[in-house]
Structure 1
């Protein structure tokens, strides 16, 4: 009988709100276990553990102490983006596998340093884009890859937004230049850019042009922005991200023969299933008083929440590396780097008064 694999033992650096969600995800993932919460304040780590009923999880009074713990295999890093370079590199240098909250870095040069540290120390890297791991995403890929029913991808639009409170706009780390200087572009635009690249199988656009629908706060942080992408073969994509409008998590992909729409991409309406709309070869009805086909609702069940599926995929990859001595997979670092490259291009276009940036 094959020996049962030991679960991957996680530590978390910091007590951010998103860490509550990931601590639950680690608990739910069959091949992972949470053993430590690290904070610069030991009391804060203890409160986090108590508030979230994390039995048998240790409170640790520094990030370094988590990284120096030989019993910990991997770390989840939900720190502000401005701290990612320091602590992701430190984790990799201590041979800890790195699950890093998105956006991965402030710029691609910082991300390259993180990825180099992970590669040179033989540890796996993955960013925290949860929606990619939902089984709905695989089903959507299957359907837009159907050349007969969908055809070649022609246009894509993505939006991600929520209406921030005055308190958020005043005090949240995502509007502070010394903590998360990318603002809405990093926090929400990462989803938009990632979903557009996903729709074209991660083919980089040739041109990125930010649109002049830009809102900044007094510190120069992006509160709302939009951009367009163009490919040499004629594909076009647009996105809008904002802290200033009603919640949206939409993705629309049009092909030559079909179309696909999602209204809850980043956070599904339900944990146990998610749906999308698919339409194939629809036309206007006679006299243009309707459509010949209505969209089909495709429902995809999920045995675990998408964040637990993300942790599980990460943990199983680390187990595979441990058991077969294989190197880290390049899939996840490559996806993160392409997303960061395009995000950087949007930011550069904004900074040059909306001029096109060529990739």
Structure 2
């Protein structure tokens, strides 16, 4: 008798944020997940959102977030609410025994995140943040190159940028520029990705110190629109990042080793959904009369049948099933990575507030 496949993980969506459109699509595409319910502050808004985004006809529509969490047929929730609301709703979701896929930035500070993670652990639910590029197969291939000591050598430096030119309407009214909704601004929204990229490249070893770069750009309410920082490790490794709502789009990681380099130009969102390139070079040398550099970087292309957000949902759902169906403990990797990312975000913010002094990072 053939073994039956596990039932798909049933997701509830809290809110109708724009990013929820993308993740909703990913849930419908992932082979082991389905949308079971959506809740908004009004049932009219939730109904319109479900229709606009082609939700299954079986999706239950609620006029509150509480109703989604009270639904016994919801296994997990995706939380794309403003950062200032994460603490309340992620904690309540965990207490209701719902597994938590939490949009980034995951909290306003590590103190809030620790409360969320503690509740997830106490209630035996899986936690993951929604940093989608982590789940693209390209990310694995890039790490394989960096782990090859003969080709890449020893890591020396990392530089990452994530910037985009936000329209005037965004800069006036988007939640990411409102101090009561997303007080971390560009640091929490775009900077989160670059900080995660740096930690990924360093195998999640926290830096010794973080020093914010001078002259960040703030709006009238004091929310960060553009900033950067330098990070340093005890062994001499260094990293820098820049994030901005005020600069043409860039999504770069440049990783330099003693014998090789890696570059990727679209790490946050690949230029194409199903294929993603990166570039490697080894043993670079100056040519005759310094007129050229050789060898030229080689392009590596990585294909995927599922988008990176669908792969994220698939991996999260696999972890949920291992807890739900096999009695396993939740995977602790993702809470640890989230917490380390939040610690560096906090350190950058603290360095800005302390006049750009170095801030030590302690786990």
Secondary structure (helix, strand or coil) at the match of 2:215 reads: strand
Equivalent position of 1:7 in the other structure: 8
**Which residue in 2 is equivalent to 1:55?**
56
Aligned to 1:320: 322
Deviation at 1:303, TM superposition (A): 1.0
Whole-angstrom CA distance in 1 between matches of 2:105 and 2:54: 28
The correspondence of residues 174-189 of structure 1 with structure 2, limited to 5 A, is: 174-189=176-191
SS at match of 1:212: coil
Cα shift at 1:28: 0.4
Alignment partner of 1:239 is 2:241: yes
Q: Which of 274, 281, 287 is residue 279 of structure 1 equivalent to?
A: 281
Name the counterpart of 2:215: 213
2:269 aligns with 267
Contact residue 279 and residue 297 of structure 2 kept, 8 A? yes
In structure 2, distance between residues paired with 1:215 and 1:349? 15
Of residues 330, 333, 338, the one that matches 1:331 is 333
Shift of 1:241: 0.3
> Which residue is 1:125 aligned to?
127
Contact preservation (8 Å) 2:35, 2:56: no
**1:111 corresponds to which residue?**
113
Which whole-Å CA distance do the structure 1 matches of 2:130 and 2:5 have between them? 27
Note if contact 1:183-1:223 (Cα within 8 Å) is conserved in structure 2.
yes
- Partner in structure 1 of residue 78 of structure 2: 76
1:168 paired residue number: 170
SS in 2 for 1:142: helix
Structure 1 counterpart of 2:24: 23
Name whichever of 49-58 and 267-276 sits farther off. Answer: 49-58
Q: How many residues align?
A: 359
Cα offset for 1:292? 1.9
- 1:2 Cα deviation from its structure 2 partner: 1.5
2:227 to 222, 225, 228: 225
Deviates more, 1:55-64 or 1:94-103: 55-64
Contact 1:81 1:104 in 2 (8 A): yes
> When the two structures are superposed, what TM-score results if normalisation uses the length of structure 2?
0.98
Displacement after TM superposition at 1:309 (Å)? 0.3
CA RMSD in angstroms comes to 0.6
Gap runs ≥5 in structure 1: none
Partner of 1:348: 350
**CA displacement, residues 250-295 of structure 1 (integer Å, 9 cap, x when unaligned):** 0000001000001000000011110100001111111111112000
For 1:45, the equivalent position in structure 2 comes to 46
Cα distance in structure 2, aligned partners of 1:243 and 1:341: 22
Shift of 1:213: 3.1
After TM superposition, the score normalised by the length of structure 1 is 0.99
Q: Give the drift of 1:51.
A: 1.0
Q: C-alpha displacement at 1:323, in angstroms?
A: 2.2
Output the CA distance in 2 between the equivalents of 1:292 and 1:162.
Answer: 32
Partner of 2:37: 36
Q: Give the Cα–Cα distance (whole angstroms) in 1 for the partners of residues 130 and 294 of structure 2.
A: 40
- Report the CA distance between 1:53 and its aligned residue: 1.8
Compute the displacement of 1:4 (Å): 1.5
- Matched with 2:256 is 254
Paired with 1:232 and 1:253, the residues of 2 have a C-alpha distance of: 18
Counterpart contact for 1:271–1:305, Cα < 8 Å: yes
Shift of 1:55: 2.7
Q: CA deviation at 1:93?
A: 0.2
Matched with 2:291 is 289
Deviation, 1:352, is 0.4
Distance (Å, rounded) in 2 between the aligned partners of 1:256 and 1:59: 55
Distance 2:324 2:217 in 1: 47
> Is the CA contact (8 Å cut-off) linking 1:213 and 1:226 kept in structure 2?
no
Deviation (angstroms), 1:49: 1.0
